[in-house]
Amino acid sequence: MVSCGFPTTISTTTIFSANKDNKTKEDCGQRPQKTTGEVDIPLNLNSEWLKRTNLTNKPSTPSCRAAKSKQVSQRPFEIMSSNRKRKPIRVWVDGCFDMMHYGHANALRQAKAMGDFLVAGVHSDAEIEKNKGPTVMKEEERYAAVAACKWVDLVVPDAPYITSLDVMDQYDCDFCVHGDDITTAADGTDCYQAVKDAGRYRECKRTQGVSTTELVGRMLLMTRDHHHRRSSISSINNEDLSTFSSSASKQSPETKISHFLPTSRRIVQFSEGREPNPGDKVIYVDGTFDLFHVGHIEFLKRAKDLGDYLLVGVHDDQTVNAIKGVNYPLMNLHERVLSVLACRYVDEVIIGAPYSVDENVLSKVYKVDIVAHGNTPSLPDINDEDPYKVPKEKGIYKEIINPAADLTTDSIIERIIEHRKRYEERQLRKNKKAQLEAEAEKLEKEASKR
């Protein structure tokens, strides 16, 4: 039984018919029925549970791809003749998705844009430990985080670390998408070599400026250097700096401390751009949403259930740091905004929302019907007043009981601190591995030019 301090189930949504324009999907024999509904992911996830759910149902005809290839001469993702409807393109993506961040979400967004239906395979803790090192988030938490991403249509738990053509065929996926970098297994082999050899590999642009390794480094360094307005950095242990900054910059382009440079285009790509319909009940919630995790996801889902349109306020770096101190937030404002926008329950975000919910928040953007907050105590504002005083006086304040409230940004940091030595060793291994992968990538590019 996996225990992480919150309840036996995490309510997530796995969408099987995600195309909002209801594009016709051509069945291939006996593909499992696609339904839209709630899927509870128990924390003691096991194969028996998986067999009972649609989350990992495989087509009952494994040779579905082969059967289709006999019927038509075109590749599966080409347009059929005018008297046949186009077969929806099914895309496979896999990964660890540890401490799922906007870089992961952007990869999923790009992959979904290449097709119609996105299948996301998530590796187990055991597979990642063997090939990469310890994870920060437990596998059930990672499964739930990926399921909450609005571009994902189906989650496949315990996907093999080395991408398998057989597994892709089981889910009737036409091709696999990965970032423009090489990922290797424990023995140094390219995890996607078989897919590349089969001509079923596509690349998307890797998001610069963020990685799980880099976020762990921020926690261990305890600096505020990632905030948008630079603050004076408190004293840092020299040994830590040599481990996570100087040596990282020499050995690995991935693990050095970097700064995310936001663009309006990226925010537009992540945004739904939808306004409330007439008569919609607008729900407002606000927060830091640092290291966006399953606790946040469950809270947002329950908030969305209160109405029709969820408006989320994300506080800026200086406000958060003034209230929480130390090196909070660990992710800067725009990093946190993108993580929130990627959540399927969120309709719109106020960037740099005020800490105290005032009349401007309640009426200037949209007319807010309900202001919701979790069942954890809220810290007073800089005037030592309740930040929810106004909505409480108006009678529109509602408290949400969050079953995942024990999973917080602080509890994630505690995991890192508790296993600090293991993560330090992981960082050093990652540096060496990233250096080898960079060299292999360079050789591959040189070979492709010949």
* pLDDT tops 70 at residue 11: no
Pick the closest to residue 141 from 426, 411, 337, 407 (CA basis). 407
Mean pLDDT over the full length of the chain = 76
Residues 6+ apart with CB under 8 A from 199: none
Strands 154-157 and 117-122: parallel
What would the mean pLDDT of 323-336 be, rounded to a whole number? Answer: 90
Confidence of residue 218 (pLDDT cuts 50, 70, 90): confident
pLDDT at 205 over 50: yes
Q: Which pLDDT score is estimated for 325?
A: 85
Which residues are CB-contacts of 96 (< 8 A; sequence separation ≥ 6)? Answer: 122, 123, 128, 132, 135, 142, 212
Q: Which pLDDT value is given to residue 214? A: 80
Q: Is the pLDDT of residue 260 over 80?
A: no
pLDDT at 371 (0 to 100): 98
* CA separation for the pair 23, 15 (Å, rounded): 14
Nearest to 206 by CA among 95, 332, 360: 95
Residue 197 sits at φ, ψ, to 5 deg, of: -60, -30
pLDDT at 12 over 60: no
Contacts of 235 (CB under 8 A, 6+ apart): none
Confidence tier at 99 by pLDDT (50, 70, 90): very high
pLDDT greater than 70 at residue 191: yes
Tokens matching residue 369: 């019907």
Terminal CA-CA length for the chain: 53
Query: Helices 409-418 and 212-221, interaxial angle, to 10°?
Result: 80
Would you list the DSSP string of 175-208?
A: EEEEESS--B-TTS-BTTHHHHHTT-EEEEPPPT
- Residue 41 predicted with pLDDT over 60: no
- The pLDDT value given to residue 421: 73
Task: Look at 141 and 48; give whichever has higher pLDDT.
Answer: 141
| Tens-place pLDDT, residues 348-384 | 999 999 999 999 999 999 999 999 999 888 889 888 9
- Residue 161 in tokens: 């670390």
pLDDT at 402: 86
Q: What number of CA atoms fall less than 13 Å from residue 28's CA on the CB side?
A: 26
Note the pLDDT of residue 437: 61
Q: Please tell me the predicted confidence (pLDDT) of residue 217.
A: 77
User: What is the pTM (predicted TM-score) of this model?
Assistant: 0.72
Q: Within a 13 Å sphere around the CA of 366, how many CA atoms are in the beta-carbon half?
A: 26
Task: List all residues 6 or more positions away from 276 whose beta carbon is below 8 Å from its beta carbon.
Answer: 282, 308, 309, 347, 366
For the chain, domains (ranges, CATH) are 9-204 (3.40.50.620), 212-259+421-449 (no CATH), 268-400 (3.40.50.620)
Q: Is the pLDDT of residue 39 over 60?
A: no
- Which residues, 6+ apart, have CB-to-CB distance to 185 below 8 Å? 131, 161, 162, 191
Query: Using one digit for the tens of pLDDT, what is the confidence trace for 269-279?
Result: 999 788 999 99
Contacts of 179 (CB under 8 A, 6+ apart): 107, 203, 204, 205, 206, 207
Strand, coil or helix: 159: coil
Q: What confidence tier does 443 reach under pLDDT thresholds 50, 70, 90?
A: confident
